[in-house]
Amino acid sequence: MFALTGKVALVTGASQGIGRAIAVALAAGGARVALAARNEQKLAEAAGQIQSAGGEALSIKMDVAEAEQIKAGFQQVLAKFGRLDILVNNAAITRDGLALRMKLEDWDTVMRTNLTAAHLCTQQALGTMMKQRWGRIINITSVVAETGNAGQANYVAAKAGLIGLTRAIATEMASRNITVNAVAPGFIATPMTDPLPEKVKEEMKGRIPLGRFGTENDVAAAIVFLASEEAGYITGHVLDVNGGMHMG
């Protein structure tokens, strides 16, 4: 089940963390994977991990905040593989601060990277997917898009916007056999959470009914499912991967 043999996937923000885990999992499922991010060294390491396991990977240096780089990156995918079946919009940044004092630059930067970029990447993917009459677009949102979070008005708004974008494009593309879904991770153990004091980690775990942080592979497994043939009757959905901390 959930075989992706013959499919081509592109994952943004794929050089580390959740994005890298997603790329590796898609490759393990049989997909040929294009990995896009800004850090060329980390991209090469991630692509090497896939290739060492017998998979096929393409590294693309791409800043998703730049429309021309997005366009050029998708052209590289089509030149290399001739098609694109799966798009995972994962790239994201934070510029946290209380709403009262949030700089316009910090608002605009987060919106452009976390929301506008997903729209632009989706636009680039839809042409080939419509011709194929098959496609999977998966947007990585967040539990805070559903619950809110102090000090992250820009991030929360962008991630909530991804949910709206998901449902709008899902409605537009359903007749072309293109599904569009979102995955909303909760607290996930990553290098970003490792430095947190143990007291803070325990307080965070106390908000999770399953009593543990999620892993990058927990999120990646959800992506593989939504990218598969077996998920073909699911569209416009937000799949929560949060250990039960938000049930809605």
Q: Which residues are catalytic?
A: 155
Q: Give the contacts of 224 (CB within 8 A, at least 6 positions apart).
A: 2, 4, 25, 26, 29
CB atoms within 10 A of CB 49: 16
**Could you give phi then psi for residue 26, rounded to 5 degrees?**
-65, -40
- Residue 206 tokens read as 């106390």
**Could you give phi then psi for residue 234, rounded to 5 degrees?**
-115, 120
CA distance 148 to 167: 20
User: Of 17, 69, 74, 71, which Cα lies nearest the Cα of 46?
Assistant: 17
- DSSP 8-state symbol, 152: B
